[in-house]
Chain A
Amino acid sequence: MHFNKIHLSARKIGGKYSLVLKLIFSIGLLNSLNCAGQTIHGIVYEKTSEGLQTVPGAFVHCLNEEEGVVTDSMGHFEIKFCEESHRMVVEHISLLPDTISVSHDKHHYEIILEAGSDILKTAVAEVHRKTYGLDQLNAKTTINIHEREFQKAACCNLSESFENAPAIDVNYGDAVTGTRQIKMLGLDGFYALISREYMPSVRLLNSYYGMSFIPAAWVKGIQITKGVGSVVNGYESLAGQINIELRKPFDHTRFLYDQFVASSGRTETDLMYRHDLSKNAATSFFVRTAILPFRMDRNKDGFMDNPTGRQFQFLNRWQFHGKKWEGEFSAGFNTDHKNAGQQDFYSEDPKQHYGISINNDQLEFLAKVGKVNPDKPWRSFGSQYGFNAHHLKSIYGSSENQTIYQADAKSVYVNLIWQSKINDTRHTYQTGFSFQGDALTETVSGIQRFQFSRQELVPGVFAEYTYKPKEQISIVAGLRSDYNSIYGLSVTPRIHSRFNFNKEKTTLRISGGLGRRTSNILSQNQQVFATNRTFIINSINTDYAYGLNQEVALNGGLSLEHKLKFGLWPATITLDYFRTQFLNEVVMDREEDATVRYYNMKNGTIANSFQAQFDFTFLRRSDLRLAYRMFDVSTKYLEGRMERAMVARNRGFINFTQRTRSHWQFSSTIQMYGRQRLPGKDTSATAITNRWSKEFVMVNLQISKEITSRFEAYLGSENIFNYKQPNPIIGSQNPLTGRFDASVVWGPVFGRMFYAGFRWRINGNNSIKEKEQI
């Protein structure tokens, strides 16, 4: 349990206070017949890995009464009987407050409090059946998505999981590899920091395909933060942070088998097995295989609609609880091979046809070690260690006339975090030291030839202070300073605040700060390799990565959430506005048909994002979600400021989910996409249609049935009205010589897809749960 506290320290103060209390037993002892003036006494404990520890400093009072007592050094307390409310509240700053019924015939209460943890938090979320929602106590605009929510989408990997989350846009990245890309606040997904359990994850060579390498079945929950993230996690989160929590060995699930089959033949299998080593240690094994077996060309452009290929992924996780120390270790690898391009490349002459092969191989180790002080639960130390090695090789073109992109990356990450308080727990802070080291070599050979390599070492220090005068207000101010071996010293300030008012019905959040990142122009824009464009890089300093300066942007925003009721039924209205202004940007410019240019631009992109969302639950099992988004994004290109290419200005979203008493669930999602400006300067008569995409609507349906508590089957259709972008590949008839571009994709490429699958889960008491039964 303690270790979770350290995760929390790495994640945010906010979540830490949403803790769960457990009163395991209360024993009636003495009997005083004199009720008037009767007192209640007892001991407050905290459950730790070495058993029960008394909790000094817990505040005990009667419900609705402000006066109370504080437990002494042995955790003892004595208060007057709660005559009015018959309920006693026990609170501690690092433990969850709760209310306990008291009665005249019980005088002695032994109360066991638990530190909050992801596990318990999720358990609570399950009880309330709230699968999507803002994290109430977090000063950031953080949306929690529980696994039940992304199970509504036809998803098998994370890039497909956001179909029901209006905070994230999902679109195909290109017309050949079937990879979906995300966007946040109108900006590309790589402007968001994607972290796995608060360690930077999908980055460098992973920035294009990485999200598709996270199996949704392994994921327990996702936290999406709009706007800048915490300085504790680094300086990279510009538009937001997407944190992914995978299932841990101490989680509830003992065994998992998920099977998915789509009409395209795509078959995906996920397995997980947990083994408990002792009460304090457990390990789990995850396996995923995915096969894309068939070559299909439904739109008859000669190109396969889907790639063929196979993926295999393995992960082994360990979790320990020691006396004071806790740890988590994981080791995994992923291998993915895809083939795409013209069908004739495979069946006829590869010299005359265009083929694509993409191979990703990765190895990864992660560790977390934490220490807490049982006497001083507000004080903790957490450390995170990561190592990632990635080899990527892709080939585009005919066997004689091709472009080969080959890259190797090794990455090391260390983050040490100390957390404590100043005087009292209204003032808490986290401070620490981090190190990110990236070594990257990229070679492009064949038709175009160039090579880049860099070693970027970034030691940094950070401090984040949280002021929480009362439950309704929290202000988090963070500052970090990093020394980048390429770009030198930088300072990154950030601030987040939350105000809860109107009887806790309304919450206002305001955030702002700087973010910066080194642009990985080749790996993050791999769709550009599926074109005949010539790369042009306007280098400004040969010492820099690709000769280009780092991207720096200022992000600020506010969100307002209001809870209301229509009769008995609860609803939530959320409005948010964020603005991202780049001080320095690396612009990818595809405005000329034959080239793709990369250059630094001062005050490049200005992205305004507005979202209104309405969530309504009614008639017990009906959920409705409506959302509207407006993005006003303009980029300063060499030719001047223009609307940013490939961003839909208007987007609408409707999701309706109906559950039945007999455990059926019907879910439908309607997504409306406004027109997008397409890159290029077409001056022909059909300029308007060539320069703007069409507006379109996509409808997804899913039916699922929980046959037993362990087994659920589902059936669905994505894009049921079969909307397809006409001619998604420019120049598909003549890819080897003429203008060819598979990177201008604004709509669905594949059309209607049917899918079916099942989820088989066996939950079981693990070591933590067993200990709770003492």
Chain B
Amino acid sequence: MKTQIRSLTAIAILFIMSLQIAYAKKVTTEFKVYGQCGECKEKIEKALDVPGITFAEWNVETKMLKVQYNDDKYTVDQIHDIMHKLGYATDKGSAESSAEKKLPKCCQPGGH
């Protein structure tokens, strides 16, 4: 019985450690994305719904994007770049103007 408990404990510890290893690669960061409306929220979160990015939530009111990603697949600059290419300015740069024009009216700067 004791050995069973011990081996179970060992398995549990190994399991938790492996989880931590799996999560160790994940980085969570926050930055501003200058979107305008609820439709932008859907667009932003959808664009970041790709393998390698495990979480993305954008707050319409604070403009804050919270994103979690695997750092061996993405860098934070690449995520900024996804936003620029989608047509949104971030703290690190402005939007690609061709993409910005393609956004729905409500998502363009000044729109709502």
A residues sitting closer than 8 Å to B (CB atoms) are 20-26, 87, 98-101, 106, 112, 123-124, 127-128, 568-569, 619-620, 661, 773
Q: Does B41 contact A (CB under 8 A)?
A: yes
Known: A127-B38, A568-B55, A568-B66. A98 touches B49 (CB 8 A): no
Q: Which of B36, B42, B54 contacts A127 (CB 8 A)?
A: B42
Listed by A's residue number, 11 A-B pairs whose Cβ atoms lie within 8 Å are: A20-B38, A24-B111, A98-B112, A101-B36, A101-B109, A112-B112, A127-B39, A127-B41, A128-B38, A568-B28, A620-B54
In this assembly, does B63 line the interface, its C-beta being within 8 Å of a C-beta of chain A? yes
Using CB atoms, name the residue of chain B closest to A25: B110
Determine the distance from Cα of A266 to Cα of B106 in the docked complex, in whole angstroms.
44
* B105 is an interface residue with CB less than 8 A from chain A: yes
Complex contacts, A661 vs chain B, CB 8 Å: 49
Assess the B63–A123 pair: CB atoms within 8 A: no
Query: Do B111 and A25 touch across chains, with their CB atoms under 8 A apart?
Result: yes
Closest Cβ of chain B to A25, distance in Å, is 6
Q: How far is the CA of A22 from the CA of B66 in the complex (A)?
A: 25
B68 proximal to A (CB < 8 A):
yes
Which listed residue (B41, B55, B112) contacts A100, Cβ 8 A?
B112
Residue from B36, B38, B63, B110 in contact with A124 in the complex, judged by beta carbons closer than 8 Å = B38
Which 4 residue pairs of A and B lie closest in terms of their CB atoms, listed nearest first? A23-B112, A127-B38, A26-B110, A568-B55
**Which applies to chain B's interface (DSSP): helix, strand, loop or mixed?**
mixed
Question: Which residues on B sit within 8 Å (CB–CB) of A112?
Answer: 112
Q: Name the residue of chain A whose CB is nearest to the CB of B41.
A: A127
Question: How far is B42's CA from A123's CA once the two chains are assembled, in angstroms?
Answer: 11
Q: Which residue of A lies closest to B34 (CB)?
A: A101
Bound: A327/B36 CA distance, A: 33
Closest to A114 in B: B112
Size class of the contact patch on chain B: 20 to 34
- Does residue B72 face the partner (Cβ distance < 8 Å to A)? no
Report chain A residues within 8 Å CB of B77: none
Q: Given A101-B34, A127-B41, A23–B66 Cβ distance below 8 Å?
A: no
- Least CB distance from B39 to A in Å reads 7
B27, chain A: closest CB distance, angstroms: 12
Could you mark each residue 21-60 of chain B with 1 if its beta carbon is under 8 Å from any beta carbon of chain A, else 0? 0000000100000101011011000000100001101001
Find out whether the CB atom of B112 lies under 8 angstroms from the CB atom of A568: no
Complex: how many Å from CA A577 to CA B68? 38
Shortest C-beta distance, A524 to chain B (Å), equals 43
Could you tell me the distance between the alpha carbons of A101 and B55 in the complex, rounded to whole angstroms? Answer: 25
A69 to B41, CA, bound (A): 29
Distance in angstroms between the alpha carbons of A106 and B41 in the assembled complex? 24
Known contacts A568-B66, A619-B54, then 17 further A-B pairs from the complex at CB < 8 Å, ordered by chain A residue: A20-B38, A22-B106, A22-B112, A23-B112, A24-B105, A24-B111, A24-B112, A26-B110, A98-B112, A101-B34, A112-B112, A123-B38, A568-B28, A568-B55, A568-B57, A569-B55, A773-B105
Tell me the complex Cα distance, A619–B41, Å: 18
Q: How far is B68's CA from A24's CA once the two chains are assembled, in angstroms? A: 33
Q: How far is the CA of A99 from the CA of B57 in the complex (A)?
A: 18
B42 touches A23 (CB 8 A): no
**How far, in whole Å, are A773 and B104 apart by their CA atoms in the complex?**
11
B111 surroundings in chain A (CB, below 8 A): 23-25
CA distance A128 to B60 in the complex (A): 11
Give bound CA distance, A773 to B105, whole Å: 8
Q: Which chain B positions have C-beta within 8 A of A773?
A: 105
CA distance A127 to B106 in the complex (A): 14
Residue of A nearest to B42 (CB): A127
CA of A124 to CA of B41, assembled, Å: 10
Cβ-closest chain A residue relative to B53:
A620
A42 to B86: give the CA distance in the assembly, Å.
30
Bound CA–CA A21/B39 (angstroms): 13
Residues in B neighbouring A569, C-beta threshold 8 A: 55
The listed residue with most B CB atoms (<10 A of its CB), out of A20, A99, A569, is A99
Q: Which residues in B have their C-beta under 8 angstroms from that of A127?
A: 38-39, 41-42
B33 to chain A, nearest CB (A): 11
Within 8 A of A (CB), among B57-108: 57, 60-61, 63, 66, 68, 105-106
Nearest to A619 among chain B residues (CB) is B54
Q: Which residues of A contact B105 (CB under 8 A)?
A: 24, 773
A620 and B55 within 8 A (CB): yes
Nearest opposing residue in chain B for A27, CB measure: B110
Smallest distance from the beta carbon of A665 to chain B beta carbons, Å?
15
C-alpha spacing A26/B111, complex, angstroms: 7
A21 to B61, CA, bound (A): 12
Task: Determine the chain A residues whose CB is within 8 A of the CB of B36 once the complex forms.
Answer: 23, 101
